């Protein structure tokens, strides 16, 4: 695939996107990290989005679902530090007040700006602070400020997560930009992942939505953090057509989908690997199950098992943790132990074959597990269903670090 | 209830039970903690048992299910250090070899001794070591060695867990004794809980099984450790009738059931609170849901949420973590936020009422959360279903401590 990564590129790498970010003081902080960002397309964009499946979605998610029905928008106001979740009817009004303020200031029609929040749950949104921040941001909006926005959306993230790529289509070159917020650690109500994607390709609304869903199903949806969905998880994809190139022909759709998949997967890996305490990223592959749904559920059960994550963090993941997690998954996968191997760039070792655990593999396993990325591979020999899940380890450092998110 | 706790009592407090324990060297250890124990009734006992629901049950569980069909037995050989799980057909043969050896030595018939194992998964049982240990134990079997057995079954447990009580029935006084192994921490494949109960009452087999099931449903089954079942989880209840008192009349059955419930609940709390790193025990009560199954599932979702456990460990559990966990539970519980309060011996605070989060409760909440036991109470105002779950916090100390279980 001819996808070309754009060095230091992010959300504003595609044409026609502007961002800005300032410190609004939503939380008292030691540093003055920006906490409000605006993303604006200089023209109307089609928009696709996916939101959390958590029953108690945050106010901006409720509003977002409503606005998405239009399928076109100009941009989004994002704040960190306060999730505007568990805030009832007032939360919805607050979210609308922020959007309306930005729309007025930008001379837009009602419903053209989304809002997105992440942070502490159960506290009312400091609407005035955010409006004042938007007022400061609007005159500074720039195609060069993508990194500021990626910084503003961080909460307990230890690193900005941004990426952009360029790809040739039949009508010319288009770009896709991305920024994400989220971390592979266990975060009290901070498991929230936010991902914002932009493209200067023109893509029809329904195609855009299905491309986004497919890409997420192969990346961010495979990412298991602490087994919880958050109240605020959201993914947006704007397509403003500023490149003058329309994604229409089958070959172009395929190329664009492939690029989007690659970017989403890279962002998911960035999220999984985020944080000082994060030492190991884990991929769980399952095959030989009756259906792909079963295979996905088993992969997810292994990747999200606290025991597996903890053992991985301590470099001593073994057959016991994996077998227990598989056996504990709430799906029908037989009672014959699957074949199992663990591999990393440092080698591969078989843990179980033909229902029998391998013995004396500890020392080789310990070496393999010292790599930063580890793959657990399970074969059930029952059918054609394959599955995949991404996760990360759990270390005491994680737990320590994540105690600080309110401070 | 006239249940009388027996000071320092344990598994051998009821009449007719003998135990012994020695160090067999199953794992290389720094200390010489006993790792094999034998529990013997001096006469045939009816026996009830419950085993893990994990798909990959250990060999002793498979064997135990088979032996349980007889409904009578004389005792059990228990080892820690090796789970005899994931060991295929050879594991079953190994378990049988241990049982047969003990039966021969004790002059019993085949099928009169159960076996039970806990420890590392995926390694073959060191059968000879265990047989040699049983040979050493048999001449020392004593009604005074209950604590040794409770010590022998420990793995990462930080404290022995034993308890005994006496209760008057219409025909005389009977006793119930108990020992458990397990810890409220997150244990790589060590989430295993083992509980052994003895009584000198005479109880019919089917009644005994249903009493055990009821008691567990109200206690150990409400205990969520890391959301995983283990390959080896087992609960045994022996009733040898040595007191000469039969549990038959409705009043006696009720009194006995109540005592058994109390003992199982106390043991569940001992398991939940085990360990140096364990600082807080959590009870989650749910009410006002459509069914008791839904209510139980929601309670369990909250008690097992990594976010909730972590926040509790850091003394800053709040509405955000709880709401997210409820919303993430895979059951239909409406989308109106439940009323929520947290209480402890140090006070109570309302987190949410009529769908609205309370504000400014942090400082009072912090005080309440400093207690060793905390209750989270949720009311959904939709029906009559009530539920309950027990759990504990998650601290960085836990994670550190639990890295050491193989050493």
pLDDT at B150 over 90: yes
- Determine the distance in angstroms separating the CA of A203 from the nearest CA of chain B, rounded to an integer: 33
Query: Tokens at residue A58, please?
Result: 């945050």
Please state the rounded mean pLDDT for residues B324-332. Answer: 80
CB of B187 within 8 Å of any CB in chain A? yes
Residue B320 has phi, psi (to 5 degrees) of -60, -50
- Determine the distance in angstroms separating the CA of B307 from the nearest CA of chain A, rounded to an integer: 4
Q: Which residues pair with B307 in a beta bridge?
A: none
State the DSSP string of A227-255.
SPPPSS-EEEEEE--TTS-B--SHHHHHH
* Residue B85 contacts residue B59 (beta carbons within 8 Å): yes
What are the strands of the beta sheet with A339-344, ordered from one edge? A356-357, A347-353, A339-344, A373-379, A281-289, A385-392
Q: How far apart are CA A336 and CA A339, in angstroms?
A: 9
CATH for B4-273, among 2.40.50.140, 3.60.70.12, 3.40.50.300, 3.60.15.10?
A: 3.60.70.12
Residues of B in contact with A314 (CB under 8 A): 403
Whether residues B320 and A226 touch (CB distance < 8 A) is answered with no
Q: Which residue of A has its CA nearest to B358?
A: A122
Mean per-residue pLDDT of chain A = 89
Query: Tokens at residue B113, please?
Result: 């001794």
3-state SS class at B62: helix
Mutate to test the interface with A, among B316, B327, B358 (most CBs of A within 10 A): B327
- Determine the distance in angstroms separating the CA of B222 from the nearest CA of chain A, rounded to an integer: 17
Lowest mean pLDDT among A218-232, A304-318, B261-275, B280-294: A218-232
Residues of A in contact with B87 (CB under 8 A): 357
Active site residue A192: yes
Please state the rounded mean pLDDT for residues B337-360. Answer: 91
Q: How far is CA A169 from the centre of its chain?
A: 26
Query: Tokens at residue A35, please?
Result: 């906490």
* Residue B281 contacts residue B269 (beta carbons within 8 Å): yes
Please state the rounded mean pLDDT for residues A253-281. Answer: 84
Q: Helix A59-68 and helix A88-106: axis angle, to 10°?
A: 60
Lowest mean pLDDT among A272-281, A306-315, B142-151, B275-284: A272-281
Whether residues A399 and B395 touch (CB distance < 8 A) is answered with yes
* Residue B39 contacts residue B240 (beta carbons within 8 Å): no
CA B56-B59-B65 angle, to 5 degrees, is: 90
Whether residues A307 and B337 touch (CB distance < 8 A) is answered with no
pLDDT at B362 over 80: yes
Q: Provide the pLDDT for residue A392.
A: 82
Which residue bears the tokens 């991404």?
A390
Q: Provide the pLDDT for residue A406.
A: 41
CB of A238 within 8 Å of any CB in chain B? no
User: Which of A379-393, B26-40, B182-196, B202-216 holds the top average pLDDT?
Assistant: B202-216
pLDDT at B70 over 50: yes
CB of B321 within 8 Å of any CB in chain A? yes
Q: Provide the pLDDT for residue B310.
A: 81
Q: What is the pLDDT of residues A161-187, one digit of tens each?
A: 999 999 999 999 999 999 999 876 544
Please state the rounded mean pLDDT for residues B249-254. Answer: 96
Identify the CA nearest to A68 among candidates A39, A98, A48, A43: A48
pLDDT at B22 over 80: yes
Q: Which residue of B has its CA nearest to A57?
A: B327
Closest to B122 (Cβ–Cβ): which among A189, A323, A394?
A323
Confidence band, pLDDT 50/70/90 cuts, at residue A30:
low
Q: Provide the pLDDT for residue B185.
A: 55
* Residue A144 contacts residue A12 (beta carbons within 8 Å): yes
User: Can you say whether the dihedral through the CA atoms of B124, B129, B132, B137 is positive or negative?
Assistant: negative
pLDDT at A237 over 70: yes
Q: Provide the pLDDT for residue B356.
A: 81
CB of A276 within 8 Å of any CB in chain B? no
- Determine the distance in angstroms separating the CA of A93 from the nearest CA of chain B, rounded to an integer: 14
Please state the rounded mean pLDDT for residues B339-358. Answer: 92
State the DSSP string of A74-108.
EEEEEEEEE---S-HHHHHHHHHHHHHHHHHHHTP
List of E strands, A131-226: 161-169, 172-181, 194-199
Q: Provide the pLDDT for residue A156.
A: 78
Mean per-residue pLDDT of chain B = 89
Lowest mean pLDDT among A21-30, B74-83, B150-159, B245-254: A21-30
Q: How far apart are CA A90 and CA B49, in angstroms?
A: 53
CB of B166 within 8 Å of any CB in chain A? no
Where are the alpha helices (H) located in A274-318, listed in sequence order?
Answer: 292-304, 306-313
Higher-confidence residue of A32 and B82: namely B82
Specify the CATH architecture of the domain A281-404. Roll (3.10)
pLDDT at A139 over 50: yes
- Determine the distance in angstroms separating the CA of A115 from the nearest CA of chain B, rounded to an integer: 20
CB of B88 within 8 Å of any CB in chain A? yes
| ipTM of this predicted structure | 0.71
Output DSSP code: residue B108.
Answer: P
3-state SS class at B68: helix
pLDDT at B399 over 70: no
Q: Provide the pLDDT for residue A362.
A: 85
Please state the rounded mean pLDDT for residues B19-31. Answer: 84
Mutate to test the interface with A, among B54, B62, B86, B91 (most CBs of A within 10 A): B86
Lowest mean pLDDT among A228-242, A376-390, B262-276, B281-295: B262-276
Mutate to test the interface with A, among B27, B59, B92, B228 (most CBs of A within 10 A): B228
Contacts for B337-341: CB closer than 8 Å, 24+ residues apart = B337/A56, B337/A86, B337/A88, B338/B286, B338/B288, B338/B378, B338/B379, B338/B380, B338/B381, B339/B378, B339/B379, B339/B380, B339/B381, B340/B376, B340/B377, B340/B378, B340/B379, B341/B376, B341/B377
Confidence band, pLDDT 50/70/90 cuts, at residue A6:
very high
CB of A228 within 8 Å of any CB in chain B? yes
Q: What are the residue ranges spanned by the domains of chain A?
A: 4-273, 281-404
Residues of B in contact with A361 (CB under 8 A): none
Helices and strands per DSSP (H, E), number in chain B: 11, 15
Instruction: Give the pTM.
Output: 0.78
Whether residues A326 and B55 touch (CB distance < 8 A) is answered with yes
Whether residues B321 and A396 touch (CB distance < 8 A) is answered with no
Mutate to test the interface with A, among B27, B28, B55 (most CBs of A within 10 A): B55
Total CB pairs under 8 A between chain A and B: 205
Q: What is the pLDDT of residues A320-330, one digit of tens each?
A: 889 888 987 76
Q: Provide the pLDDT for residue B404.
A: 45
* Residue A359 contacts residue B123 (beta carbons within 8 Å): yes
Instruction: Report which secondary-structure segment, H or E, holds B47.
Output: strand B36-51
Active-site option among B46, B118, B192, B375:
B192
Q: Provide the pLDDT for residue B156.
A: 78
Q: Provide the pLDDT for residue B184.
A: 61
């Amino acid at each position: 695939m001819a996808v070309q990564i754009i060095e230091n590129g992010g959300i504003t790498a595609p044409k026609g996107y502007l961002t800005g970010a300032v410190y609004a003081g939503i939380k008292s902080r030691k540093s003055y990290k920006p906490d409000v960002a605006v993303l604006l397309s200089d023209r109307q964009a089609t928009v696709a989005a996916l939101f959390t499946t958590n029953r108690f979605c945050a106010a901006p998610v409720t509003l977002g679902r409503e606005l998405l029905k239009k399928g076109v928008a100009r941009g989004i106001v994002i704040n960190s530090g306060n999730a505007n979740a568990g805030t009832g009817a007032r939360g919805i009004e607050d979210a609308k007040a922020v959007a309306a303020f930005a729309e007025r200031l930008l001379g837009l029609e009602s419903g053209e700006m989304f809002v997105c929040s992440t942070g502490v749950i159960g506290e009312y949104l400091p609407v005035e602070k955010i409006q004042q921040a938007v007022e400061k941001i609007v005159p500074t909006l720039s195609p060069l400020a993508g990194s500021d926005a990626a910084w503003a959306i961080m909460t307990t993230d230890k690193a900005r997560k941004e990426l952009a790529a360029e790809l040739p289509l039949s009508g010319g070159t288009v770009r896709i930009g991305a920024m994400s917020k989220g971390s592979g650690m266990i975060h009290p109500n901070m498991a929230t992942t936010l991902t914002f994607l932009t493209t200067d390709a023109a893509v029809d609304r329904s195609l855009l939505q299905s491309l986004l869903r497919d890409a997420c199903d192969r990346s961010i949806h495979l990412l298991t953090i602490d087994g919880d969905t958050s109240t605020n998880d959201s993914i947006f994809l704007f397509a403003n057509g500023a490149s003058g190139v329309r994604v229409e022909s089958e070959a172009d759709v395929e190329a664009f989908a492939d690029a989007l998949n690659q970017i989403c997967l890279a962002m998911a890996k960035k999220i999984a690997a985020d944080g000082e305490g994060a030492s190991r990223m884990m991929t769980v592959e399952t095959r030989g199950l009756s259906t792909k749904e079963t295979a996905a559920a088993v992969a997810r059960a292994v990747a999200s098992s606290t025991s597996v994550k903890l053992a991985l963090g301590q470099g001593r993941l073994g057959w016991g943790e994996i077998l227990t997690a598989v056996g504990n998954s709430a799906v029908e996968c037989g009672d014959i132990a699957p074949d199992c191997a663990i591999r990393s760039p440092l080698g591969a070792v078989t843990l179980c074959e033909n229902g029998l655990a391998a013995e004396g593999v500890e020392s080789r396993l310990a070496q393999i597990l010292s790599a930063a990325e580890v793959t657990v591979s399970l074969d059930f020999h029952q059918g054609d269903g394959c599955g995949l899940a991404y996760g990360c380890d759990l270390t005491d450092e994680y737990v320590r670090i994540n105690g600080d998110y309110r401070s």
